[in-house]
Structure 1
Amino acid sequence: MSFTMDLARRANAIRLDAVPGEAAYVARRAIADTIGVAIAGSRTCFIASLANVIGADGAQGTASCIGRKGAFSVLHAALINGTAAHALDFDDCSTAMAGHPSAPVVPAVLALAQERKATGRAVIEAYLAGVEVEVRLARAIMPHHYDKGWHPTATLGVFGAAAASARLLGFDDERMATTLAVAVSMAGGLKANFGTPVKPLHVGQAAHNGMLAALTVARGMSANHDAFDHNYGFFNVFNGAGTFSPEKALEDAPLAVLEPGLSVKQHPCCGSAHSAIDAAIALFRRHGPLDPRSIARIETWTHERRLVHTNRPQPCTGLDAKFSVQYLTARALLGGRISLSDFTKDRLKDGETAEMLGLVTSAAHREPDEYLGRVRVTLKDGTVLEEAASTRFGRGPENPMSDAELETKFVDCARNLHGEVAAHSLFASLMGIDHAEDICGLMTATAGQP
């Protein structure tokens, strides 16, 4: 049996009536959270530009674009919604995947489900299958894949979107395997574009391409089932000889959404900076807001794998600032939190922020806990204030967000487009998605007010 067929069988074996109830609960929360951050992300200027470029005017189609009125083709909806879901870098994370599992999968699932008038249970099943494929593949290729410069949310997200789409289309194991093999030639995304709008575009492409793979197979497309382990296949080309272990992807393990689980972001920025942020917030809570004029220097330490793409002492744009551990530490020390407003032009030009930022220097550590972050503030009078935190890209199973906290995050993301009352109502509907007989009305509601 080929690797591709073995992986396909595992994706198709997931059935909602046979998995722990906790898995469906995690899926509902993930879908709601992804839609929430996509609503906020839909307001970014490059989402409108993307829609204009591809001619997605909402004049015809069967799928809704989050934050946009009209009906779109399923492929355009997946592309735009996938990009919006990652636009603010506020979407959930997986430590095993070293990326964001839901953002490529949810837009593909919802677009196809709306077209096919699928039930909420079918949506959850497809979502679980998509995330399972992403994380299983990650076990085979990490950490070398990430260190080499690939963006796993894109390179693995395409397979999650493909598997989830295949499930909604009712594919058997043979066609599921073919879909995954087609998707091998549609994977891509480089870390060189972190801190730019291209990073979220990676995710939109993954959602689009994964669905495209499934739709072409539905019309007779074929592919080489050895596309993963061929000499010129995914493992050898994307990683290289001796840097992958396909057998790890096929080991018996709990569902990926349960172990290692998903981490929900509470800070709208790169997860690699969250430990430094949390250490800085702990200092704020203990000592209150610090006056930059009283500080001699601020030092941060994060793991070398985390610092390599967050070492940006002078960020130029809001997106760039989301990847600057120096900026994020400065803002956390000043305000005790990181919010969406910290990435506006006005905040970036703020004099007090600039003064605090100028005091921050960042270095790498190589300690066994690669999520460990330390912040040390040395005052001009010689007093040293220091805190450490180990945050695994967000609030994971060991420290989960409550439903109330998740709702607060959702409403914060959605209120500007939907209004306070409607945002609360939409969250409640999404948390009950498994009871929906047809998700069309639910998806139409994500468009928000005119």
Structure 2
Amino acid sequence: MDPIAFVHAFSWDDLPNDAQKQVELSLLDLIGVGAGGLGTRLSRIIRAHAQEEFAGTVPMFLDGRGASASGAALAAGMTIDALDGHDGFNPAKGHIGAPLFPAALAVAHEVKSSGRAFLEAIAMGYEFGARISVAQHATVPDYHTSGSWGAVTAAAACARLLELDAETTRHALGIAEYHAPRSQMMRCIDHPTMLKDGAGWGAMTGVSACKLARAHFSGAPAITVENAPAFWADLGQRWYVMEQYYKPYPVCRWAQAPIEAALALQSKHGFSAADITAIHIETFHESVRLAMLAPSNTEEAQYSTAFPVAVALMRGDVTPEAISDDATKDADIQSLSAKIRMTEHDQANAAFPQKRLARVCVQTAKERFQSDWHEPKWDHTAPPTEADLRGKFHALADPVIGHVAACEIEDTLANLAALPFSALSDQLLRPISASTTIGRTA
């Protein structure tokens, strides 16, 4: 099917039942990660910026202050990106949901969408985003952030929600592609900062592109949509929402195979973190580039391989608290991280990006332990259970919004196809405390 026609022709009923359930779980996961990211400095800064610089009446995600739809999408996208725990797509080396959901959330609220229409925009967006991500990566030598192709994905979802005609949609996609943040991902890997994966800027650009196109601003064509037919051939036949991975840990996916290898080795042989004298990680080039042995803030900790491995070996898990700004000051974990050496391996390089492989060797004073090759948990080939994802959602959301509110969101998502979208947005676009709305206690 023609991609632009698909934007508007797709129906919720086109999706198999298991794919409909996966859309629900992906949204739940994104909401949980966004709740977990709300307390970061990054999120606080960007929400204040959106209120000050993007005046409007769309309430921001779990904040309640008003911004324009574009500003609200920016704030929510960067809040989700602030905690690197959201779903992803291996061939894209990136994340479809992080720019898609915030844009659709803002616009669906603005147009008073039905729950079904919102779900259709999200489901369509996963299929659109999977294909445009691969199409863009095939056209340029640089590896760009998710926000680059995510902007076009967000524009497709918003064009559907705004009920733009086909020609206006065509211009919206072209505007979004041209204005998208073509930010270099490896620059942020080498120098981790709050720039992250461009999800917020992609969401903002997608909303803005649709509003401009609706006002007759011209911008067609989107080259990756109109001039790359090979990437769109299976549209409406293969459901890529079923091929997303999820993250058990809120750090870069490239660090998660080493975490699994280290934990498996520790579980098998029973050594403690105090026993370790040296660690050698063999993995692929991009993971080795996450070379931040001694991070000083959460952005550096999330874009490190060594530090999360040290956290896992010390604590048995990697939680948001364990990679927070304050946690990076833990001298014992910093000391263990400094014992890690990382090298590339041809086998891991050859498998990337479809697979992310790593193996770990741990040296103690008495013995040397070598792991097998490991992949990250919760890939689509060995996916998490529904209970796994619901457990992750509550672990992230309950401390922020409370267990009762989290359960209400969960129940609403399960029934959203038969509800007005306001049943969900009333819960998501509200302040959770005085400190989130005005920056100070009452």
- State the SS of the aligned residue for 1:199: coil
Identity of counterpart residues, as a percentage? Answer: 25
How far did 1:348 drift?
1.7
TM-score w.r.t. length of structure 2: 0.89
Q: Distance in 2 between matches of 1:58 and 1:177?
A: 26
- State the SS of the aligned residue for 1:376: strand
**Cα deviations by residue, 1:358-414 (Å, 9 ceiling, x for unpaired):** 2110111121323111111022213324243122xx513322222222122111211
- 1:357 aligned partner: 337
How far did 1:212 drift?
0.8
Amino acid aligned to 1:412? A
**How many residues are aligned here?**
423
Identify the match of residue 406 of structure 1 among 365, 389, 398.
389
Amino acid aligned to 1:75? S
Q: Distance in 2 between matches of 1:425 and 1:284?
A: 39
How far did 1:33 drift?
1.1
Q: Bigger CA drift: 361-370 or 136-145? A: 136-145
Where do 1:328-367 residues align within 5 Å? 328-367=308-347
Q: Distance in 1 between matches of 2:385 and 2:212?
A: 40
- 1:372 aligned partner: 357
**Cα deviations by residue, 1:70-93 (Å, 9 ceiling, x for unpaired):** 443212211111111111111110
Q: Distance in 2 between matches of 1:257 and 1:197?
A: 32
Q: Distance in 1 between matches of 2:68 and 2:422?
A: 14
Moved over 4 A (4+): 56-60, 253-257
How far did 1:182 drift?
1.1
Q: Distance in 2 between matches of 1:282 and 1:40?
A: 27
Q: Distance in 2 between matches of 1:144 and 1:326?
A: 33
TM-score w.r.t. length of structure 1: 0.87
Q: Is the 8 A contact 2:87 2:247 kept in 1?
A: yes
CA separation of 1:275 and 1:440: change in aligned 2, threshold 3 A: same
- 2:194 aligned partner: 197
How far did 1:163 drift?
0.2
Q: Is the 8 A contact 2:87 2:246 kept in 1?
A: yes
CA separation of 1:383 and 1:250: change in aligned 2, threshold 3 A: closer
Q: Is the 8 A contact 1:60 1:70 kept in 2?
A: no
- 2:399 aligned partner: 416
Structure 2 residue 49 is the aligned partner of structure 1 residue 49:
no
Q: Distance in 2 between matches of 1:144 and 1:301?
A: 30
Q: Which runs of 5+ in 1 are unaligned?
A: 236-244
- State the SS of the aligned residue for 1:55: helix
Structure 2 residue 176 is the aligned partner of structure 1 residue 180:
no
Q: Is the 8 A contact 2:81 2:199 kept in 1?
A: yes
Q: Distance in 2 between matches of 1:167 and 1:29?
A: 22
Q: Distance in 1 between matches of 2:386 and 2:260?
A: 21
Q: Distance in 1 between matches of 2:19 and 2:170?
A: 24
Identify the match of residue 95 of structure 1 among 68, 90, 94.
90
Q: Is the 8 A contact 1:276 1:389 kept in 2?
A: yes
Identify the match of residue 169 of structure 1 among 150, 154, 162.
162
Structure 2 residue 195 is the aligned partner of structure 1 residue 210:
no
- 1:241 aligned partner: none
CA separation of 1:338 and 1:257: change in aligned 2, threshold 3 A: farther
How far did 1:340 drift?
0.6
Amino acid aligned to 1:381? K
Q: Distance in 2 between matches of 1:290 and 1:143?
A: 45
Q: Is the 8 A contact 2:122 2:157 kept in 1?
A: yes
Amino acid aligned to 1:186? H
Identify the match of residue 290 of structure 1 among 265, 272, 293.
272
Identify the match of residue 80 of structure 1 among 50, 58, 75.
75
